[in-house]
Structures are given as C-alpha cells and as structure tokens.
Amino acid sequence: MTFSDIIGNEGVVSALRNMVDTGRIPHAMMLYENDGCGAMAIVQAFLQYLACTRRHDGEPCGECLQCRQVSKAIYAGVRYTFPVTSGTKVGGAVKDLTCDMFSSWWKELLVENPYFTESELSTALGFEKKSGLIAVAEGKAILQKLSIASATDGYRTIVIYLPEKMNVQTANMLLKAIEEPAEGTLFVMVTHSPESVLQTISSRCQAIRVLPLEKEQVRRALVERFSCPEEDASIAASLSGGSIGMALRYLRGQEEASALEGLVIQIFTSLLERDLYGLLEKAEEAAALDSRERQKAFCSEAGAVLRQIFMVQQGMEDLAMVPPSQRAFIAGAARRLAGTFPRKAMDIVSRAGGMIDRNVNQKAVFTNMADSLFMSL
Ligand SMILES: [Zn+2]
C-alpha cells in the first residue's frame, strides 16, 4: 500500500508523509474514522513509507524487503493489536487470548481488503456475534514486544485497532509505555469511537481525523479501482455514507444474497421435479455455507420464497412482491405445488433455522430439512 493508493484524505496523507520526511513523528497517534473509511489503509501506507529503505518522491519504493514485508503485514517491526474473543476459530478464556492466536486471519483480511469493516473483522476471526476485547494477555504481549531488542533497524510500532475496546487494566499496563516511550517506539491507533477511548490513553495521542469521502469519490473508486459496474457503484456509493469499506460490504452482500437465492431456487426445483437425490445434494451445499449466519440467511430466504408461493396460490400476486427475475419460477411453483405445502414447508424451514441457532450439526439439520420437505409434497 503506497500513499498514491489511498483514496481521498489528501491532507492526512501529506501530514503523515511530512512527519517521516522531517523525522518529526509523534510517539503516539490516534486516527479517528467512521467504520471502513480507510484509516487502516492509510496506516499501512504510512508504515511502508516509514520502513522503506529506498523512499523517493514522497512514496515508498514498493520493492525493497521492508516494503514487501509491510505490505504483507509480516514486517517484524510492527505488532498489530485488535479486540479478540473466543469463537469458532480460537477458543478459551478471553483474558488469556492474544492477537498472535488470530494473526493469520488478521493478516489475510488486512492484505486482501484494508477497507474492512468491524463486522467483517468479527466474521474473519470467527467471533460470530460476540464483541471482542483488548485484555491483559495482549497488554503483556505488547510490553514484551517492546522490551526485546528490535529485530529491525527502524521503529518498533504497535498498531492498535479499536483502542476503545481496551479494558482499564490493560490501559493501565500500557500507560507508561505510551507516555514515556523508549527510543524508536511508536503507537498508531485507529478508533471508530474516540469518546469511548479511555481518556488516559487518548490524551497522550496526537489526534488525526480521517474523513468520510464524497459520494462521487466513492463511486469513482468503486469503478476505477474495484472494477465495479457503473450502476452498482452508484447505488453502493449512495448507501455508503462516504465509507469505501461499507460500499464494498454492500456489494459483497448483494453477491452473496444472489448466490443464496440461486441455491434456494435449485432446492425448490429439485422438489418440484421429485428429485430426492438432487435435493439432498443441494441440502449438502447449504450445510457447507461458510458460516451459521449464512446458513440462517439461507433458511430465511427459503421462507421468503415459500411465502411468495403461498400468496400467489391465494391470488395475492400484488402483495407477494416477487422480483421480476423470479416471477416465472414462483408462478410455476404455485401451480404445481399443493395448496397445503407452503405452510408445512415454512414450519420445516423455520425449525431448521432455529436448530442452526442452537448449534445443532449443520449437515444433519439440512438433510432432515430436505427429507421433511420431500415427505410433505
Ligand atoms: Zn521500499
């Protein structure tokens, strides 16, 4: 990530560039942004510029070892701290968790999409719906990192993503290191809620505001840098609140929703054709969806399709609000399925969604669901 990769926020970029050029870098900074507005992308560009051994024309070279390591988030001079909790990827008591246990997923997300949103981070780290914490074990790990001699010639940087999730104990542990940092130590924090950061921490940081982008800037970036079709880009930009991350999340959500919709239609097509084998195959695909959230979304989508079939059977086409792309399918299904089927099937599908919530084995849930649907025909 170089400065020229950063979308908008020219003022922030030039201030950070200037700090490095003049050697006047505050030992603690806190970037404040709305979720997904690109502060982590800016931090990555800054760290790369700082570490680069062949900076020129205000940009990192992009080729030296340091540049390559920072851009892959594997540079030994940087430690990334972020809120964590136990979940599907790492278990155990929250107070014992450190970010090292999650670092492979963190790096993957940061490198692939530096505009990630908080909820995308939670998903990537397997938190499900729980919210993370920066607790004492992580505080200790930071102090340890600072106590050992630097593995690199340059700065030792601690990046803290969401310092508002740090508890008081941890903050107290770090106060001295932030207030009287050892030579070459740098703290860079990214917050979404500066008023929730403990005052003892925020008062010691230089504050930098990362602004939301103009709608037009978001739209152009989506088209030019993310190869998004014009029409989708306009919709995503107008819903984004100036956040590239939110716009990208919306677009991915659209893609996922249409993939789920496709799977639901395939399941009902197998049912209509009385194709039990095909039906079970599709049920396995539903069980293999990559999170419980998506499996539940599949159940809701199936419920919505059944409701539409029911309404069309009752002659309430206007209320069914069937999207044009599905009209032919829903009308055909309404004609071919018994009038009693949609209600029975809605119960079956909603029961399956409930079991997914209660952590019942997914494959068993979806196989049973497919069987019961078939029996209700
Ligand atoms: Zn370089």
Paired tokens of 162:
């969401």
DSSP character string of 334-367: HHHS-TTHHHHHHHHHHHHHHHHHTT--HHHHHH
The single-letter DSSP state of residue 15 is H
pLDDT tens per residue, range 67-113: 999 999 999 999 999 999 999 899 888 889 999 999 999 999 999 99
Listed by start position, the domains of the chain span: 3-211, 257-375
Q: Which residues contact 331 (CB under 8 A, 6 or more apart)?
A: 312
Q: How far is the CA of 54 from the centre of ligand 1 (A)?
A: 5
Structure tokens at 215: 């709608």
CA atoms of 268 and 261, how far apart (whole Å): 11
Residues 291-320: b if buried by 16+ CB within 10 A, e if exposed: ebeebbbbbebbbbbbbbbbbbbeeeeeeb
Q: Are 6 and 39 in contact (CB under 8 A)?
A: no
Confidence of residue 150 (pLDDT cuts 50, 70, 90): low
Q: pLDDT tens digits, residue range 253-303?
A: 888 888 888 999 999 999 999 999 999 999 999 999 878 888 998 999 999
How far, in Å, is the centroid of ligand 1 from the Cα of 53? 5
Written in H, E and C, the secondary structure of 175-216 is HHHHHCCCCCEEEEEEECCHHHCCHHHHCCCEEEECCCCCHH
pTM of the model: 0.78
Give me the mean pLDDT over the 173-184 stretch. 90
Q: What is the arithmetic mean of pLDDT over 226-231?
A: 92
Distance 299 CA to ligand 1 centre (A): 49
Please give the class, per CATH, of domain 3-211. alpha beta
Give me the percent of the chain exceeding a pLDDT of 90. Answer: 80
Ligand 1 geometric centre to CA of 351 (Å): 56
CA of 4 to the centre of ligand 1 (A): 14
Please report, for residues 209, 214, 237, 246, 247, the alpha-carbon distance to residue 241 in angstroms, rounded to integers and kept in the order given: 16, 8, 8, 8, 8
181 Cα to the center of ligand 1, angstroms: 26
Q: What is the distance in A from the centroid of ligand 1 to the CA of 2?
A: 10
Q: Is the pLDDT of residue 128 over 80?
A: no
* CA gap 50, 19 in Å, rounded: 9
- Comparing 89 with 31, which gets the higher pLDDT? 31
Domain covering 257-375 assigned CATH 1.10.1040.10 in the classification:
no
Report CA(6)–ligand 1 centroid distance (Å): 17
Cα separations in angstroms, 257 against 235, 260, 366:
16, 5, 19
- Cross-strand partners of 159: 80, 188
Q: Which two tokens stand for residue 184?
A: 């070459």
Of 131 and 267, the structure prediction assigns the larger pLDDT to 267
Ligand 1 geometric centre to CA of 27 (Å): 22
Q: How far apart are CA 292 and CA 286, in angstroms?
A: 10
- Cα–Cα distance between 5 and 1 in angstroms, integer? 6
Question: How far away, in angstroms, is 195 Cα from ligand 1 center?
Answer: 36
Pairing between β-strand 156-161 and β-strand 78-81 as defined by DSSP bridges: parallel
